[in-house]
Homo-oligomer: A and B are copies of this chain.
Amino acid sequence: MSDLLERLRGRGFRLTAQRRVVAEVLDGDHVHYTADEVLARATARLPEISRATVYNTLGELVALGEVLEVSTDGRAKRYDPNAHSAHQHLVCSRCGSIRDVRPEGDLLSTLPEGERYGFRVSGAEVTYRGICPDCAERRGK
C-alpha cells in the first residue's frame, strides 16, 4: 500500500488528508476491517473525518482494484488491502474473523464446461469455514 497514494495521484485523484488516513489504516498484512472499524481507526488520527468519506474512499479503492471487498456473511463487508496477491479466505463461523490462505490448484478449472450454463465465468473465490483457535478455546467455558 505504501505507494498507493502516488498511484492515486497518478490517476487524477486529489490527495486529501482523509484519503491518506484511510489508506494508512488499511496498510498491513491480514487486515480485514469493516467500514466501521476503518472509520474508528481513521477517527483516532483525524477526528473530523466523516462516515460518508470513509465509505467513498473505500469504494474508490475497490473500484481501482487496490482493495478487495469481502462479504463472507450477511454482516458488514470487510476490506482486504492485499489485492495484488491471489489468495482465499478462511473465516471463523463464530466470530467472523478472517485469515488469508493460499490453497493449492487452479480453482477455476474445477468447473467443467458443461456446468457453466452459458455464463462467461471470470473468477472463483473460495471461503473456507471453520472455528478459529480463540473461539475453540473460549467455547469450553
Contact surface of A with B, Cβ cutoff 8 Å: 69, 71-74, 77, 90, 92-93, 99, 101-105, 107-108, 110-112, 115-133, 136
Contact = CB atoms under 8 A, between A and B. Distances in A.
One complex includes copies of this chain to the number of: 2
A92 B125 CA distance: 13
A68 B130 CA distance: 17
Nearest to A91: B119
A136 B122 CA distance: 13
17 contacts: A71-B74, A90-B111, A90-B119, A90-B121, A99-B119, A101-B116, A103-B112, A104-B112, A107-B126, A119-B132, A121-B128, A121-B129, A122-B129, A123-B128, A125-B126, A125-B127, A126-B126
A122 B99 contact: no
Contact of A110 (B99, B105, B111): B105
Given A71-B71, A127-B124, A127-B125, A133 B119 contact: yes
Given A77-B74, A129-B123, A117 B104 contact: no
B126 A124 contact: yes
A39 B60 CA distance: 35
B116 A90 contact: yes
Nearest to A115: B101
Nearest to A70: B74
A119 B100 CA distance: 12
